[in-house]
A and B are shown apart, each in its own frame.
Chain A
Amino acid sequence: MSTAMEGKKKDSRKQSSGAAFQWLSGIVLTIGGLFFLLPFFWMITSSFKPEGEIVQIPPTFWPESFTMHNFTYLFNNMKFDVYFKNTLIIVLFSYIGLLLNALAGFGFAKYDFKGRNALFVLVLATMMIPSQVTMIPVYLILNSLGLTNTMTGIVLPGLVGAFAIFLFRQFMSTIPTELLEATRLDGASEYRIFAQIVLPITKPILAVQAILTFIGGWNSFLWPLIIANDESLYTLSVGLSLLKGQYAANFGLQMAGATFMVVPVILLFTYFQKHIIENFSISGMK
């Protein structure tokens, strides 16, 4: 009897210490989270402040006089419309790259051909090559092909990636071979099998890759920076780093440019976060 009582007492004490722990970790995470969000908050509110309010000390936490002037200036006096268009073109091209990655993943996953394993190791090995080493030779190669300062030259170096090929291969290996065999017996060509059987099955990973490809293309910086000499080929990131140099003291304008780049990605990510995070959990550690 008394031991049962004691056990119960111990239990409830454990529960209350558990609840205290939950509260404590909740508070710690909230404070940390506020620090993590602070730069975004400051970026967005500052982008709506007029120049006079930006240089005001002490700073205002919420724009007192709300203005869109910084954003209109980006488009009317800087070439942010051109940068925006170029960035979208790069995103579109990177979707061709995504398709090529999926094709290669399928080739490596479901066919047995001579040299398959050696070639796949070669693909994986490219993941270990740092971009600083390839930066200069790729520039020289593109230059000798006459592709510097062209959109093709900007897009090509980063079009395909070993990591995406690896993910596609892992996922496509789980597609039952009998299914492909049956379709083949019905007279379908290999290309038709890919388009009508494999791609639909791969939809979950394709969707996540599509979002990550968008984010990657939207954020692309290094190759446009190196390959584009002409302002008409700049992307948003390159334009923004240019803006920071030209308007070093105009923080409202800089924040508007940053907001324009960051907010679409934040919205997209928050909307799809469940799928992206789960994809990492599934594919990342296997």
Chain B
Amino acid sequence: MKGFLNKQAPYIFIAPTLILLTLFSIVPILVALVISFTDMDLGGLANFNSISFIGFENYVEVLKDPVFMKAIYNTIFYVVIGVPLVILFSLAIALLINLGTSRIFKAFRVVYYLPSVTNIVAVAVVWNYLYNPTLGLFNYLLNLVGLPDVPWLTEPTIAKLSLILLALWKAVGLNMIIFIAALQGIPKSYYEAAQLDGANTWQQVTRITIPMLRFAIFFVSITTMIGWLQFFEEPFVMTQGGPLDGTLSVALFIYQNGFKFNNFGYAAAGSFVLFVCIIAITLVQLKLQKNESDMT
């Protein structure tokens, strides 16, 4: 028995995780695909016999649903505005920290990274208070310098931008660390050679650093984009998708249809539309990256 256990050891090592991953990641994909073609709701949960297959009806319905269209529009808005901002800010901060020679620059790493480890619900609650129209700190500070109030969370477009600002604050740290790690991988001799040729700091950054960071920038843009396509907790805690569905994201739409209205089949169809979009966008990005590296 002991010999048998020993021989099977590698399988026993990987079995628990494989079973859990299969049960909660792989099987659910198939289940989601199946129920997206059914009218499963709360009644179906109690009695499987009441579920019937309805073909592509859910997909047709969801793609006609004006609320879903709104959610897609908002999600694209989040991605288009949010992703470039995240890359720009995390890269700029990483460059400044990396060029710094004093020890204090190491402390900045912690300061900018802190929001990334904190709880999203707590953070959303705090920012909700900062954004409060009458008691919030932000409007008070704006008034202090003579600027008018901003309707942070009450005007649909500004509300989207407010959520982006919060998410940006939270996302910069992790990506900054990735950029710093990549920056430290660039050989010092490149800079020394450029200095001998009389290149100034700006030239060194634009001609050496940025091109050398191409892979890191690509990595960050793909992971950030996938993350923003799944934007969920910020609108869930702060606005519940309001005002007038102005901050509703696709992920929140799926959650609300699944767990608030119990339309499991309908929500699953929506989630597959999101999944296909994520895969398509990732593949396009991979292709673009490949073309670019072929060219150089």
Alpha-carbon distance A140/B45, docked complex (angstroms): 8
Number of residues in A with C-beta < 8 Å to the partner?
90
The answer to the question of A215 belonging to the interface, with a C-beta cut-off of 8 Å to chain B, is yes
Contact mask B77-97 → A, CB, 8 Å, 1/0? 000000000000000010011
Whether B135 lies near A189 (C-beta < 8 A) is no
B26 touches A104 (CB 8 A): no
Whether A25 touches B96, Cβ cut-off 8 Å, given contacts A122-B26, A133-B29, is yes
In the complex with contacts A135-B254, A160-B16, A262-B122 CB distance below 8 A: yes
| CB atoms of B135 and A54 under 8 A apart | yes
* Most chain B CB neighbours (cut-off 10 Å) among A25, A46, A57, A236: A25
Interface SS of chain B: helix, strand, loop or mixed? helix
Q: Chain A's nearest CB lies how many Å from the CB of B193?
A: 16
Q: Are B181 and A284 in contact (CB under 8 A)?
A: yes
A49-91 to B contact mask, C-beta < 8 Å, 1/0: 0000011011100000000000000000000000000000000
The residue on B at minimum CB distance from A59 is B140
Which residues of chain A are near B237, meaning CB under 8 Å? 241, 244
> Which B residues, 45 to 100, have Cβ-Cβ distances below 8 Å to chain A?
45, 93, 96-97, 99-100
> B169's contact among A36, A111, A257, by CB below 8 Å, is which?
A36
| A197 beta carbon closer than 8 Å to chain B | no
Report yes or no: A218 in contact with B13, Cβ–Cβ below 8 A.
no
Min CB gap A76→B, angstroms: 20
* Cα distance, A163 to B145, chains bound together (Å): 47
Task: Supply 11 further A-B pairs (C-beta < 8 A) apart from A130-B226, A191-B9.
Answer: A21-B201, A39-B169, A106-B13, A119-B14, A123-B21, A126-B25, A128-B282, A132-B250, A159-B20, A241-B236, A285-B181
CB pairs A–B below 8 angstroms (12 shown): A21-B201, A107-B9, A111-B13, A116-B10, A130-B226, A133-B28, A140-B35, A219-B120, A244-B237, A254-B129, A266-B118, A277-B177
B residues near A (Cβ < 8 Å) are 2, 5-6, 9-11, 13-14, 16-18, 20-21, 23-29, 31-32, 35, 45, 93, 96-97, 99-102, 104-105, 108-115, 117-123, 125-130, 132, 134-135, 137, 140, 169, 177-178, 180-182, 184-185, 201, 216, 226, 229-230, 232-233, 236-237, 250-251, 254-255, 258-259, 264, 267-268, 271-272, 274-275, 278-279, 282
